[in-house]
Structure 1
């Protein structure tokens, strides 16, 4: 994300996929039907994991994912109706073992409160070998428990995502696709957030490494 908070505070990090902007906070969920097709564009670089194949019928099915980390388990309920392209991509990467062994490379502790993961390189520039457009941005917000895509460029989502472990203190523009919500393990996320960063800043690597050992899909 690239950005500035228009009402209060901007939180940025060099090389990071996230930057925050203003928006009012509401709640979200949906029973809407998935769209007919999704577009995944090869990049020809990065760490290729193959290209997802979108199946509208399969994409409509309920999906939960458990992030098994060395700090505890976090379970997510996918918003398959609102973000079918994103949830298809996430489940594809998880099924390929793409996230296994990767480190959650960023935590923020002021203004916004998120843990950012999904970057196998650990520098905020991971490329799974394809990108796809934003979706589910109409009225999007990012309260505690939100799981949304992180991106370095508008409309170019890949593998990186963030999880809000507390409600933000500043408004955030609806620019990052919400695709799941936390249904278990908020205590794990809060503990990671409260521990802060490795260098004592408000935006950096977690004080203690957070490694995704595996992602279990159900």
Structure 2
């Protein structure tokens, strides 16, 4: 079985190849556009995919003032999206039921919300959640057996209206194919004013249909999450807490095909979706 280090190295090499191919395509487009030959060498070194870099949940590479560095928008494209879903990993050993969760106050909340109750949290069963958005409904099934504390927090935030009227701030269409949401500021720097521990294990894998938490390092989970619609060559460092239904994946696919503004390229990659995704309401079925 591959070690975490081997997985990280494999992901790094794969991403390097993908970024090099993307740079080569961009170079050819420039040559066609101006009618001259331009030589370019693209060197990608030490690039490791991370799902957050600042502000507890942040995923953007930010300027000193906290804003993202915008680049030229990426035009809509016929991107390659896998159609086969991945099967959610199962814990090698079940968690105690009920269990206890610790939510630690951290920073200023991007939107007023209370801290969840961490006592007697169920680690069994699933919860249905629907993200109603301006581009269509995205159905989620949260799995308490995988990540009870994460599910408890997500449901709490949803029921308190934290996610309502918030927009998804980043989408990746090459290398890491996912839509990241959950920051009311829309900048990738906001969180709920508390953090909680990772609920990860070695067997975790990421791919089409997986719902996981973004973080800025070990045990820094907050409100930001990402929905994988395609490839995701990541180490098992991001808490998986459920899955996305087929209709929801179709919605995300269309958003991905609309392109992004490139504001997070080249690292961590992607940008703000050119097709706005705003959650108009979030419903939870007990």
Q: Do these two structures clear the TM 0.5 threshold for a shared fold by scoring above it?
A: yes
Which range moves more in the overlay, 125-134 or 194-203?
194-203
Given the alignment of the two structures, is residue 17 of structure 1 paired with residue 55 of structure 2, yes or no? no
RMSD: 2.7
Q: Higher strand fraction: Structure 1 or Structure 2?
A: 1
Deviations 1:96-137 (A, max 9, x none): 000000000000011010000000111111120110000033
Q: Higher helix fraction: Structure 1 or Structure 2?
A: 2
1:46 to 109, 115, 131: 109
Shift, 1:159, TM fit = 0.1
User: Distance between the aligned counterparts of 2:143 and 2:60, measured in 1?
Assistant: 21
Shift, 1:196, TM fit = 1.3
User: Distance between the aligned counterparts of 2:251 and 2:195, measured in 1?
Assistant: 30
2:278 to 189, 211, 216: 211
TM-score, structure 2 length as denominator?
0.66
Segments of 5+ residues of structure 1 without an aligned counterpart are 20-25
Shift, 1:62, TM fit = 2.5
Shift, 1:191, TM fit = 0.6
8 Å contact kept, 2:198–2:238? yes
Segments of 5+ residues of structure 2 without an aligned counterpart are 1-7, 16-46, 62-85
Number of residue pairs matched? 209
Query: Where do residues 81-160 of structure 1 align in structure 2 (5 Å cutoff)?
Result: 81-160=145-224
User: Distance between the aligned counterparts of 1:58 and 1:36, measured in 2?
Assistant: 6
Which range moves more in the overlay, 106-115 or 121-130?
121-130
2:234 to 148, 168, 172: 172
Given the alignment of the two structures, is residue 181 of structure 1 paired with residue 243 of structure 2, yes or no? yes
1:36 to 99, 111, 122: 99
User: Are residues 36 and 62 of structure 1, via their aligned partners in 2, closer, same or farther at CA, if it must alter by over 3 Å?
Assistant: same
TM-score, structure 1 length as denominator?
0.85
Deviations 1:47-71 (A, max 9, x none): 3411111354655342010100101
Larger of the two Rg values belongs to structure: 2
